[in-house]
């Protein structure tokens, strides 16, 4: 992969959460060149002032820019979902403005959007989420997934294999391993990431991928929340400390 891997946390709503996470990662990191992916959620509902059912995970879009940091150890991504694909380019152009000067790119949480719809963010770091529906449409077959991904050359920099979709459902590394290896071999310039149920106590879920010589990016969301669905800093910092050891 020609892009640096990252340890991701999705669902930040304040700059203080990001600051504490970066401090934690820097204390734990030992020359691993791994970035903190600062994931801020937005959608076609919140861009127009509406609310999402996961309200504690979505900040007001007017505050997104202040959450992102200029720290070189962070990669700042808006995780964007929409029910209105027809106007996705316009939505992305507006989100670029709302993201501010420290915005590095996007994660697109849409099932196989037409590549041309991503034109406004071409050249940024763009992660295409391969969620449960996207994987199902390809029958979870690596060859079928690779065939679809070839259409996105030049439009995306990474893919995130994520059957959980922020719900905290545990990944199955034995099933992910052949797909991850296939994508690394087929797309050597593409960043490959995985997600699903990760936290400090479940970081071993992803260990088989690292044991196989792969160094994917990882992301966590659902298992880092408290019972009120608020980001739990204790869980978040514990996850970062555990995750950085994978990259040493």
**Does a structural domain hold residue 179?**
yes
What is the token pair recorded at 30?
A: 């030992």
User: At residue 247, does pLDDT exceed 50?
Assistant: yes
**Does a structural domain hold residue 12?**
yes
**Does a structural domain hold residue 44?**
yes
User: Whole domain around residue 188: which residue ranges?
Assistant: 6-247
* Confidence band, pLDDT 50/70/90 cuts, at residue 1: very low
**Does a structural domain hold residue 71?**
yes
What is the token pair recorded at 157?
A: 């920099």
Cα–Cα distances (Å) from 215 to 8, 24, 68, 100, 181, in that order, read 14, 21, 25, 30, 10
**Does a structural domain hold residue 201?**
yes
* Confidence band, pLDDT 50/70/90 cuts, at residue 248: confident
Q: Specify the pLDDT at position 174.
A: 84
- Counting the structural domains of the chain, the total is 1
**Does a structural domain hold residue 226?**
yes
Contact between 21 and 240 under an 8 Å Cβ cutoff? The reply is yes
Whether pTM > 0.85 for this model: the answer is yes
**Does a structural domain hold residue 113?**
yes
**Does a structural domain hold residue 1?**
no
Q: What is the CATH number of the domain that holds 150?
A: 3.20.20.70
Q: Which residues of 205-233 are buried (b: 16+ CB within 10 A; e: fewer)?
A: bbeebeeeebebbbbbbbbbbeeeeebbe
């Amino acid at each position: 992969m020609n892009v640096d891997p990252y340890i991701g946390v999705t669902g930040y709503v304040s700059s203080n959460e990001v600051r504490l996470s970066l401090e934690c990662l820097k204390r734990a990191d030992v020359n691993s060149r791994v970035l903190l992916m600062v994931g801020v959620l937005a959608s076609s509902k919140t861009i127009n002032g509406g609310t999402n059912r996961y309200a504690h995970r979505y900040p007001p879009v007017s505050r997104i820019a202040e959450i992102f940091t200029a720290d070189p150890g962070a990669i700042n991504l808006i995780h964007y979902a929409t029910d209105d694909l027809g106007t996705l380019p316009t939505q992305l152009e507006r989100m670029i403005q709302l993201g501010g000067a420290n915005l590095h790119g996007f994660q697109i949480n849409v099932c196989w959007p037409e590549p041309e719809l991503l034109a406004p963010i071409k050249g940024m770091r763009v992660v295409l989420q391969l969620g449960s529906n996207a994987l199902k449409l390809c029958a979870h077959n690596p060859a079928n997934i690779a065939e679809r991904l070839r259409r996105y050359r030049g439009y995306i920099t990474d893919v995130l294999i994520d059957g959980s979709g922020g719900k905290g459902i545990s990944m199955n590394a034995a099933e992910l391993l052949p797909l991850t290896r296939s994508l690394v071999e087929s797309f050597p310039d593409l960043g490959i990431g995985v997600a699903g149920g990760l936290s400090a106590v479940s970081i071993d879920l992803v260990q088989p991928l690292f044991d196989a010589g792969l160094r994917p990016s990882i992301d966590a969301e659902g298992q880092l929340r408290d019972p009120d669905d608020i980001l739990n800093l204790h869980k978040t910092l514990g996850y970062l400390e555990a995750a950085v050891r994978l990259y040493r």
